[in-house]
Amino acid sequence: MSELALAAYIGCAGFVMAGILGSFYQLLTGEPLKFAISVETWVKGVFSCLLCVFAGPFIIMRNAIRGRRLDQRPIGWLVASSTIAGMWSLCSGVFVLQIAFTILL
């Protein structure tokens, strides 16, 4: 049971980080974050790719909830999107917590 609680904590940490990145991007630019990689310069390309990688769960869940509310997509679509976002959050949460523990300890 403790492994499940640890996985849930790590997944929540990954999703919180994704939400912070997505909200901060929207605060700075005034438009919501989406899966679009800018290729104007290589710096913008690398930055937008990293942003999509770490904010991906937030983008998926925002689009899934909007799709359910506005487009009346089936509930299975929302469940599948939530599963994908949850697994993605777990992976990015492991990375974020590893970096945090490396810096702090």
pLDDT tens digits for 8-34?
Answer: 999 999 999 999 999 999 999 899 988
| pTM, 2 dp | 0.86
pLDDT in tens, 45-86: 898 899 999 999 999 999 999 999 999 899 999 999 999 999
Of the candidates 29, 30, 24, 28, the one whose C-alpha atom is nearest the C-alpha of residue 58 is: 24
What are the DSSP calls for 38-63, one per residue? --SSHHHHHHHHHHHHHHHHHHHHHH
Contacts of 7 (CB under 8 A, 6+ apart): 90
